[in-house]
Amino acid sequence: MTYDFVPAVFDPATGTGTLAFAQASQRPVRGATVQVMKGATVLATTSTDESGRYGLTFTESGTGQLAAVVLARTTAPAILVQDNTDGAIWAIGANLDATATTMDLRATHGWAGSSYDPARRSAGPFAILDSMTTAARAFLAVRPVAFPPLVVNWSPENVPQTGDKTLGQIGTSHFSPADGQIYILGKAGVDTDEFDSHVIVHEWGHYFEKNLSRSDSPGGPHGSGDVLDPRLSFGEGYGNAIAAMVLPESTYADTNWAGPGGSLTAFGFDAETPPVPTDDPLPGVFSETTVLRLLYDIFDGGSAEAFDPVGVGLGVVYDVLVGPQKATGAFTTIGSFVAGLKAQPGVNAAAVDALLAHYGIGPISTEWGDGDPDLRAMYVDVTSFPASVNLQLGGGFEYNKWEQNQYFVITGSGAQVTVSATSTEDVALVVVQAGQRVAQVDQGTSGTETATVPTIAGKKYLVNLVGFGATPGNYAVAMSFTSP
Amino acid sequence: MNRIALASATLLAAFPVLADGPQAAPPATATAAKTVHGKPQAPVSVTARLGAGAATVTVRFHSAATDASVEVHGVDGLAVTSDATPLSGARFGRGEAVTFDVAFTAGAGRSHLAVGVSGSFGGTRRSTVASFAVGKPTPDQLKPAGTAATDSKGQPVKVMPADTR
């Protein structure tokens, strides 16, 4: 059992790329469910092995056509690829001669030179399945991991339009925390991602975060050069870095039909080597590009890079993600990751600091970002009550940018705490304890927002002030904290 | 980057403003902001107001862009009859937007207007595509691909023809 793999290629030197159909190759479908069917009756079931081979015995009975069917579903790890427009699992099949002793099936890409033949475009679900299997097995090779079941939704009708997902309107390829599922674009002539393995694994990385680690990222639009909320810069830099680590291939490529006349094109970046001029104009903890390259350098050997004496490998990266990064009392940022990394056996903290310095980040020593003034300044400790804090947020930026966010840290006493934020602009408050949201208020577009939460003695509570001021320029917010 | 004033002492902060644009992003609220972890793409939003044979498209740049271009084309039979490159080599500040009209002939049933935006954002070339559905699908378009079946657990399966040997 094989599928056509089409490389998504991008050359950082020229800034060009495409889906290289001429370089397509057949790859084995690993660990997929195989069924022999007689009409609608399943006579026997097995799975393909690492080479895509399968073997089973069956006794023909019932009525209808005898057929071999291979599902885009694996059991270890449990991943299935379904069509979100009708909920059916993708599969390929062929009629089976009862006297035959072998049956090789191949899922084809269906590209006919200038467009797809819809009837032969069957490789996509198996390409997605294979990229995610590769990601999961990379971790399984270094650590025992119990991956929870994953549902991936792909359809040739999936378009970059927000709306009804059963109509294919998925917005973009994404992981949805709401249902824990991944959605992948598939509309030919617009944007197809089934062969964009870095995109696939980037979204798989968000599934990993949600189920095995933790993400406090607010999500939303982001890009290179943006000064992001550090939870977002970590989450997105992490997603790209994980793809580079596990595929393993340092060059990210995302193809689409945005070229002249709707022609195929691509953009991408190299996790290892920045271009000249740089694609990271504002390096530091708020840059997803910084986080991408920092995490990749933490992972890789870096023998050719004098600034990179760190190479902990995927096992230690996993240990940090499922350990201190998941348990942090702070928000999940590069600060919590680095603090957790330094706590791992055998990790040279001084070497990590040297690498951090290369990326314009201070020698982070705690999950709160101590050592890096920019990150530490995100957190304001509220040590007594009542307290008031006046601050300025930056208007005209989106809600997920650094300029629109500030964190406050409260240590619970067992008593109730009331937090208020007053501004002429729209602000909201989110209260979090150990990664769990305990309160959120966003009642009006100006005035005062107030959240009251009970506390547990000794527990840390994080208050995230989020601004939505739309007018460019600073605006004032008055914070107050009271506890009886 | 201290933007905090403790107690009542107000301290105006100094922000590293990247690039101010004359038009700000539309206000959002926390409750309206749905958390989605999407793939990296050009930091723009594309909206369209569709009419009969025409669309008014707005591209808003969430980050400053240079060498920005917009390409429009049709999918599933839709044919763009106006300029396929409404914008080329343009520069935008953060929060700026551009609006243009696109004329098209719709395809049979449901077809799509695709809008591709590319540019250099923060030193990196990025692109994104948005599409907008036009019309209602025909019965043929609603016909599912493949052959319907069920797996051993009773879950629906969509079987596409395989190449065999």
Give the pair of three-digit tokens for residue A481: 């904290």
ipTM: 0.90
* pLDDT tier at B26, thresholds 50, 70, 90: very low
Q: What is the mean pLDDT of residues A19-39?
A: 96
Q: Does B7 touch chain A (CB under 8 A)?
A: yes
Q: Does B56 touch chain A (CB under 8 A)?
A: no
Q: Which residues in chain B are closer than 8 Å to A203, comparing Cβ atoms?
A: 37, 39
Residue of A114, A207, A390 to mutate, interface with B, max B Cβ within 10 Å: A390
Domains of chain B: 44-135 (2.60.40.1670)
Q: Using CA atoms in the order B116, B120, B122, B123, what is the torsion angle rounded to 10 degrees? A: 140
Where along chain A do its domains lie?
Answer: 2-207, 213-377, 379-482
Q: Exposed, middle or buried by CB within 10 Å (0-12, 13-18, 19+), for A414? A: exposed
Give the count of beta carbons closer than 10 Å to the beta carbon of residue A115.
11
Please state, for a pLDDT cut of 70, what percent of chain B lies above it. Answer: 78
Q: What is the mean pLDDT of residues A185-209?
A: 97
**Are B127 and B117 within 8 A, CB to CB?**
yes
Q: Which residue has the higher pLDDT, A67 or B143?
A: A67
Check pLDDT > 50 for residue A167.
Answer: yes
Owner of token pair 């577009």: A445
Q: Which residue of B has its CA nearest to A176?
A: B36
Helices first, then strands: H and E counts in chain B: 1, 13
Please answer yes or no on whether A217 and B24 come within 8 Å at the CB atom.
Answer: no
Q: What is the mean pLDDT of residues A404-419?
A: 97
Q: Lowest mean pLDDT: which of A238-242, A427-431, B3-7, B141-145?
A: B3-7
Residue of A279, A375, A449 to mutate, interface with B, max B Cβ within 10 Å: A279
* pLDDT tier at B6, thresholds 50, 70, 90: very low
Q: What is the mean pLDDT of residues B58-81?
A: 95
Q: What is the mean pLDDT of residues A246-267?
A: 95
Check pLDDT > 70 for residue B19.
Answer: no
Check pLDDT > 50 for residue B29.
Answer: no
Q: Which residue of A has its CA nearest to B77?
A: A189
Q: Report how far residue A344's alpha carbon sits from residue A319's, in angstroms, rounded to the nearest whole number.
A: 8
The predicted-structure confidence for A268-317, as pLDDT tens digits, reads as follows: 999 999 988 888 989 999 999 999 999 999 999 866 788 899 999 999 99
Q: Which residues in chain B are closer than 8 Å to A225, comparing Cβ atoms?
A: 18, 63-64, 121-124
* pLDDT tier at A2, thresholds 50, 70, 90: very high
Give the pLDDT score at B14: 28
Q: Which residues in chain B are closer than 8 Å to A474, comparing Cβ atoms?
A: 12-13, 15
Q: Which residues in chain A are closer than 8 Å to B164, comparing Cβ atoms?
A: 94, 103-106
Check pLDDT > 60 for residue A437.
Answer: yes
Q: What CATH class does A379-482 carry?
A: mainly beta
Q: Does B52 touch chain A (CB under 8 A)?
A: no
